[in-house]
DNA sequence: CAAAGTATTGGAATATCGTTCTAGAATCGT
DNA sequence: ACGATTCTAGAACGATATTCCAATACTTTG
């Protein structure tokens, strides 16, 4: 009765589909990209695609969740190494830029809001976000306690630190602003100034 | 040979369609909303809708451009009255919050990224953005000259000033953060600190 | 004021695309 | 090797964006 739930080839096939989907979505946007486009580029059949993901939105959703998970892991790895609050905050900005420059297609897709999440997808998204925030907050908590970071309403740290560089990078990704290389320090300064505590001379 | 290019009723009809479209798009998102939904709510025929906007994406695009124009005008009006750089910068943050709280549906749509711009639409978007930036920059220029504002790469002012509040408001609009009422000063401080010049004590 | 010309509207017909369905092939546990 | 199950394939279906052209309203001109 008990039987293997997935086959070795399955994961590979799923990855192929997601990779093809990223290319297609990036080229034209989620809505204009057709199932045929994806299916052909992935070298699989319609049935296979639907078997694994259920729907086109299912593909879009799975892709987004996979990418945000990858991105969060990257940022947390970077944050874990920080020795001071200032290191950590500047690391967020620098990490955001580095990942975006290294994977512009992926970041462009993460910025895209044109994904209609299913209830389950939405739940998973919220779960991932919550876990990420919790881990970030755990890392930052001690800096708040020792006064390196200001004590602010919880939901304001992320916008204050990442908001500016996020906005800038989005414009760069759509071709409306020059590369973020060169503005790292400026945005890191802004982030640090926004959340630094009283212990540093103001 | 010369003839009126539009009739008086035309503008009204277009506005009706755009208004109906905003309701439909806000309710379910751009993709799930059908032409029939819009056309029925606007009380017009399919032909009429296509005559004026060419496609569903054409409607979505025109709506977005109309709203961003309205928003930019509102911000510029507010900025024009500022007497000092600090007034201006804080005014941007406050204005952003006020407009969002007054027109959450419109702001939610401006934040939506699920609009596939046509080449012309993209060009117009870029043109509007460029003009807005230019006007903001013109207003800020004298403050830069007299040292109230720091001299920074042109494309960094907007992200530095509006980035954080933009990120926060987006989370609020999707139900992921509490109302922006109460965090005005925090975000205005951050904005001002990010761009203030050397003339103020640092 | 009449008539021609143009903008606008209506709605049926069409084409495209997401999704469903079912039969068969590949793979795994026993 | 055999049975069970996952996975693949592609034709058929249904929904919806778009096209098309005839009918109507307005506007200018003679």
Cβ–Cβ of B190/A111 closer than 8 Å?
no
CB burial class (10 A; 0-12, 13-18, 19+) of residue B202? exposed
Unique residue bearing structure tokens 């039987």 = A3
Nearest chain B residue to A153, by CA: B183
CA–CA min distance A80, chain B (Å) = 24
Q: What is the nearest nucleotide to B44, using C1' and CA?
A: C9
Q: Is residue A148 part of a domain?
A: yes
Chain B within 8 Å of A120 (Cβ-Cβ)? no
pLDDT by residue (tens digit) across A115-171? 888 999 999 999 999 999 899 989 999 999 999 999 999 999 999 999 999 999 999
Contact present, A158 and B167 (Cβ < 8 Å): yes
CA A83 to chain centre: 24
- Do B86 and B184 belong together in one domain? yes
Q: Does B190 touch chain A (CB under 8 A)?
A: yes
Q: Are A191 and A161 in contact (CB under 8 A)?
A: yes
Are both A46 and A68 inside the same structural domain? no
B27 shares its domain with B70: no
- The protein side of the strand D contact, defined by CB less than 7 Å from any of its atoms, consists of A 1, 3, 5-7, 9-10, 13, 44-48, 50-52; B 1-4, 7-9, 33-36, 46-47, 50, 54-57
pLDDT at B63 over 90: yes
Regarding whether B74 and B44 lie in a shared domain, the answer is no
B43 and B83 in a common domain: no
Specify if A3 maps to a domain: no
CA distance B153 to chain A (A): 8
CB atoms near residue A85 (< 10 Å): 24
Residues with Cβ within 8 Å of residue A29, at least 6 apart in sequence: A112, A114, B116
Taking the CB of residue B11, how many other CB atoms lie within 10 A of it? 10
Please state, as a whole number, how many other Cβ atoms lie within 10 Å of the Cβ of residue A127: 11
- Residue A133: CATH number of its domain: 1.10.357.10
Task: Please count the structural domains in chain A.
Answer: 2
The reply to whether the CB atom of residue B113 sits less than 7 A from any atom in nucleic acid chain C is no
Mean pLDDT of the region A107-119: 88
Which residue range is the domain that position A21 belongs to?
A: 8-54
Structure confidence at residue B137 as a pLDDT band (50, 70, 90): confident
Mean pLDDT on B110-114: 85
Nearest CA in chain A to B113: A113
In this predicted structure, what is the pLDDT of residue B2?
33
Instruction: Answer yes or no: do B50 and B98 share one domain.
Output: no
How many CA atoms, within 13 angstroms, populate the side-chain half-sphere of residue B146?
Answer: 8
A113 touches chain B (CB under 8 A): yes
Nearest CA in chain A to B172: A155
Distance from the Cα of A142 to chain B's closest Cα (Å) equals: 22
pLDDT tens-digit profile of B1-32? 333 456 666 788 899 999 999 999 999 989 99
pLDDT band at A12 (very low <50, low <70, confident <90, very high): confident
| DSSP secondary structure, chain B, as one string | ----SS-HHHHHHHHHHHHHHHHHHHHH-TTTS-HHHHHHHHT--HHHHHHHHSSHHHHHHHHHHHHHHHHHHHHHHHHHT-SSHHHHHHHHHHHHHHHHHH-HHHHHHHH-------HHHHHHHHHHHHHHHHHHHHHHHHHHHTTSB----GGGHHHHHHHHHHHHHHHHHTTSS--STT-HHHHHHHHHHHHB-TTS--
- SS3 call for A107: helix
A55: contact with B, CB 8 A cutoff: no
**Cα atoms in the 13 Å half-sphere on the side-chain side of A171:** 23
Question: Which tokens is A199 given?
Answer: 């212990």
Task: Look at residue B201 and tell me if it is in a domain.
Answer: no
Q: Could you tell me the distance in Å between the CA of residue B15 and the C1' of nucleotide C5?
A: 27
Where is average pLDDT lowest: A72-81, A107-116, A162-171? A107-116
pLDDT of A61 above 90? yes
User: Looking at the structure, do residues B13 and B85 belong to the same domain, yes or no?
Assistant: no
- Does any domain span residue A2? no
């Amino acid at each position: 009765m008990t039987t293997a739930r997935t086959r070795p080839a399955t994961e590979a096939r799923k990855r192929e589909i997601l990779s093809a989907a990223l290319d297609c979505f990036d080229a034209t946007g989620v809505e204009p990209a057709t199932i045929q486009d994806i299916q052909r580029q992935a070298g699989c059949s319609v049935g296979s695609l639907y078997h694994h993901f259920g729907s086109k939105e299912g593909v879009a959703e799975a892709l987004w969740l996979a990418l945000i998970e990858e991105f969060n892991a990257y940022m947390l790895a970077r944050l874990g190494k920080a020795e001071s609050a200032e290191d950590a905050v500047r690391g967020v900005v620098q990490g955001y830029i580095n990942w975006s420059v290294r994977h512009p297609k992926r970041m462009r897709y993460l910025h895209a809001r044109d994904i209609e999440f299913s209830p389950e997808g939405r739940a998973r998204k919220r779960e991932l976000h919550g876990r990420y925030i919790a881990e970030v907050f755990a890392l930052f908590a001690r800096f708040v306690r020792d006064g390196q970071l200001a004590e602010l309403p919880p939901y304001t740290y992320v916008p204050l630190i990442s908001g500016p560089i996020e906005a800038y990078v989005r414009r760069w990704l759509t071709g409306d602003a020059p590369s973020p290389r060169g503005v790292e320090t400026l945005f890191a300064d802004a982030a640090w100034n926004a959340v630094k505590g009283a212990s540093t001379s103001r």
